[in-house]
């Protein structure tokens, strides 16, 4: 008796494979699980073991040929007893040549189990005692070749126990259907026996009867199951993974992504690399989305409050600001400035070889302007005591810097002695040191006048608080284009707002106004620094 081995489904929904090489030849004896050939799929090269033991009667597919799953590729059996050119009745690929014309094939004897093997054989693997290649659950049934024979009984097509609408039939109808199927099976077995096929048809009919009995038991269990359990049963069905090339599958495995969740846009329904990356980006947006500051009202009261201890730099800064605000009488004035020429000057400095590698910002020009204006109005660079006013003939220029530790105001020692390039370098080093948290206490002591650059935060102006020991501070607002009247015409210009706070015990209204006007003059015309 010969046994036909069809190309099995090697998994992951593949429908075809190429025969690379045969490891056996016709007339050679093979054993169960002996490698008989190598096949190449869209995913890998696989060795196929033989599910049968016996002699190779024929090799049906040549090397290099691509065949579909379910196609016969080799016949194994007893060469002495097997008739030449007659395949085993268990083979589902074609009907026997000596069958009666118009008779149905063996598959019409009853329902078949499609989920037991990818080999295409109808015999139950547990009864035959032979291991089938590709055994196990599949997401989709294997596609079969179109039959040429058309004669068929309607009652043989319809599963037993179901009516025409696919619903469970009444018990009486099921019993009659069971008897009719048995008569049909017996009749076809007799016909196959007459055609010379032997007892194989009867075996198929018996197996169909067993499958019908199991189907009836399953239908009765469905009737006894609650409707709410159907959803859970459907959820337990394994999903079919999407098709993708090996590199994409490897990347998905490393990223922990199930390809079945990815929408495929590639040819033939394949998941491309772009699809995988787009899905990964979506997951990041969902998982790492913006955190909300607000806490739900259902959360415990303790978790809705965040407590930050007041210590270190923040505590000292707070004490100094309170002491300054309540001990020094503040007076503030503001002035709008056309800084268009300053912006042009900054542009020229950035392209100058002398300033190569040096960061140049409008704050540099303001710092130089404050030093220049303080020389013309020395009393703004002073300290108040209850007994005297101390005017300082040096400038320790403080620059307010926001850091993770809080607001710091380190100062540039003897800023009046620095040229424009040296002052730019000093400003950059001061800011970097403050942001890195490496500012030393000595760098924040001995300040004489300070600048706060609130324009870096997009703020136009504000009322700054004077640092303790000083009598003046300048707030530098953002520079932006605004409509400005020039010679009777409205044109866009770069405009900023300067704000100044002064200790009125030392700096009165006249002195503060003249100092702020001098600073504004430099921003309007930086060439005055050449005087």
Length of the chain equals 531
Beta pairing, strands 35-40 & 243-244 = unpaired
List the catalytic residue out of 298, 330, 354, 504: 504
Domain ranges of the chain: 2-224, 241-307, 314-530
Q: How far apart are CA 33 and CA 263, in angstroms?
A: 38
Nearest to 73, CA basis, from 54, 56, 95: 56
Do 241-307 and 314-530 fold alike per CATH?
no
Q: How far apart are CA 470 and CA 368, in angstroms?
A: 19
CA distances to 16, 32, 517 from 71, rounded to whole Å, are 9, 20, 95
Nearest to 171, CA basis, from 157, 155, 160, 187: 160
For 247, other C-beta atoms within 10 Å of its C-beta total 10
Nearest to 62, CA basis, from 3, 20, 30: 20
CA distances to 55, 98, 121, 376, 381 from 94, rounded to whole Å, are 22, 12, 12, 109, 106
What are the residues facing 45 on neighbouring strands? 40
Q: Cβ contacts of residue 330 below 8 Å, gap of 6+?
A: 463, 465, 466, 501, 502, 503, 504
What are the residues facing 46 on neighbouring strands? 39
Give the per-residue pLDDT at 211: 65
Cβ–Cβ under 8 Å, residues 434 and 469:
no
Q: Which two tokens stand for residue 146?
A: 């179109």
Cβ–Cβ under 8 Å, residues 493 and 366:
no
**CB hemisphere CA count around 387 (13 angstroms):** 0
The DSSP element (H or E) to which 476 belongs, if any, is: strand 472-476
Cβ–Cβ under 8 Å, residues 462 and 330:
no
CA distances to 174, 349, 378, 428, 452 from 358, rounded to whole Å, are 93, 10, 30, 8, 21
**Into which CATH architecture does domain 241-307 fall?**
Irregular (4.10)
For 169, phi then psi, to 5°, come to: -80, 160
Give the per-residue pLDDT at 67: 85
pLDDT tens sequence across 199-254: 555 666 666 666 666 666 666 665 555 555 555 555 555 555 567 888 888 888 88
The counts of H helices and E strands in the chain are 12, 21
Could you report how far apart the first and last alpha carbons of the chain are, in Å?
Answer: 115
Q: Which two tokens stand for residue 358?
A: 């040096």
Q: Cβ contacts of residue 406 below 8 Å, gap of 6+?
A: 312, 313, 314, 317
Nearest to 116, CA basis, from 139, 135, 129: 135
Q: Cβ contacts of residue 56 below 8 Å, gap of 6+?
A: 24, 25, 26, 27, 28, 29, 30, 36, 74, 75, 76
Nearest to 71, CA basis, from 158, 2, 8, 153: 8
Nearest to 506, CA basis, from 367, 408, 392: 392
Rounded to a whole number of angstroms, the CA Rg of the chain reads: 46
Our answer to whether residue 504 is catalytic in this structure is yes
Nearest to 164, CA basis, from 184, 172, 173, 214: 173
Q: Cβ contacts of residue 510 below 8 Å, gap of 6+?
A: none
Q: Which two tokens stand for residue 276?
A: 């995988």
Maximum CA pair distance of the chain? Answer: 134
Nearest to 112, CA basis, from 29, 26, 209, 195: 209
Give the per-residue pLDDT at 97: 43
What are the residues facing 66 on neighbouring strands? 18
For tokens 């491309």, name the residue: 272
For 429, other C-beta atoms within 10 Å of its C-beta total 12
Q: How far apart are CA 306 and CA 330, in angstroms?
A: 34
Q: Where are the beta strands (DSSP E) in 183-329?
A: 243-244, 270-271
Name the strands in the sheet holding 66-68, side by side, starting at the edge strand that comes first in the sequence: 45-49, 35-40, 16-22, 66-68
Considering the domain 314-530 in this protein, what is its CATH number?
Answer: 3.30.559.10
Under-50 pLDDT residues of the chain: 81-139, 142, 148-161, 164, 166, 196, 198, 289
């Amino acid at each position: 008796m010969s046994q036909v081995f069809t190309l099995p489904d090697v998994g992951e929904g593949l429908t075809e494979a190429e025969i690379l090489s045969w490891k056996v030849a016709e007339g050679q004896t093979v054993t169960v699980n002996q490698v008989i050939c190598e096949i190449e799929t869209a995913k890998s090269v696989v060795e196929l073991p033989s599910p049968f033991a016996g002699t190779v009667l024929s090799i049906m597919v040549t090397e290099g040929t691509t065949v579909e799953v379910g196609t016969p590729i080799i016949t194994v059996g007893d060469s002495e007893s097997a008739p030449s050119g007659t395949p085993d009745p268990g083979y589902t690929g074609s009907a026997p040549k000596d069958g009666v014309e118009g008779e149905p094939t063996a598959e019409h004897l009853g329902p078949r189990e499609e989920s037991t093997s990818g080999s295409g054989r109808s015999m139950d693997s547990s009864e035959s005692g032979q291991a089938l290649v590709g055994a196990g659950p599949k997401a989709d049934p294997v596609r079969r070749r179109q039959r040429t024979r058309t004669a068929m009984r309607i009652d043989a097509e319809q599963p037993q126990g179901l009516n025409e609408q696919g619903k469970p039939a009444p018990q009486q109808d099921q019993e009659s259907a069971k008897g009719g199927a048995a008569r049909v099976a017996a009749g076809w077995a007799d016909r196959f026996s007459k055609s010379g096929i032997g007892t194989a048809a009867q075996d198929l009919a018996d197996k169909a009867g067993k499958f019908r009995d199991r189907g009836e038991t399953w239908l009765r269990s469905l009737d006894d199951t609650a409707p709410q359990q159907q959803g859970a049963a459907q959820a337990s069905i394994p999903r079919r993974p999407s098709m993708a090339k090996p590199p994409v599958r490897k990347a998905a495995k490393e990223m922990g992504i199930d390809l079945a969740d990815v929408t495929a846009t590639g040819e033939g329904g394949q998941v491309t690399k772009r699809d995988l990356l787009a899905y990964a980006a979506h997951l990041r947006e969902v998982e790492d989305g913006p955190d909300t500051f607000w806490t739900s009202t259902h959360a415990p009261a303790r978790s809705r409050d965040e407590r930050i201890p007041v210590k270190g730099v923040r505590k000292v800064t707070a004490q100094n600001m309170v002491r300054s605000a309540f001990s020094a009488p503040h007076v503030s004035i503001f002035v709008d400035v056309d800084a268009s020429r300053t912006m042009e000057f900054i542009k020229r400095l950035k392209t100058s070889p002398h300033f190569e590698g040096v960061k140049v910002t409008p704050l540099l020009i303001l710092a130089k302007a404050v030093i220049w204006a303080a020389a013309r109005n020395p009393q703004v660079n002073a300290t108040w005591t209850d007994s005297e006013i101390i005017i300082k003939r040096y400038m320790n220029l403080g620059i307010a810097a926001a850091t993770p530790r809080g607001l710091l105001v380190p100062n540039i020692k003897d800023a009046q002695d620095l040229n424009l390039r040296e002052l730019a370098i000093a400003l950059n080093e001061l800011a970097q040191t403050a942001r890195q948290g490496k500012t030393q206490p000595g760098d924040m002591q001995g300040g004489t006048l300070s600048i706060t650059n609130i324009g870096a935060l997009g703020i136009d102006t504000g009322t700054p608080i004077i640092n303790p020991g000083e009598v003046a501070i300048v707030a530098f607002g953002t520079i932006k284009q605004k409509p400005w009247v020039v010679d009777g015409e409205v044109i866009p210009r770069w405009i900023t707002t300067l704000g100044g706070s002064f200790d009125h015990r030392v700096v009165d209204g006249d002195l503060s106004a003249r100092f702020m006007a001098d600073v504004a003059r430099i921003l309007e015309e930086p060439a005055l620094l050449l005087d």
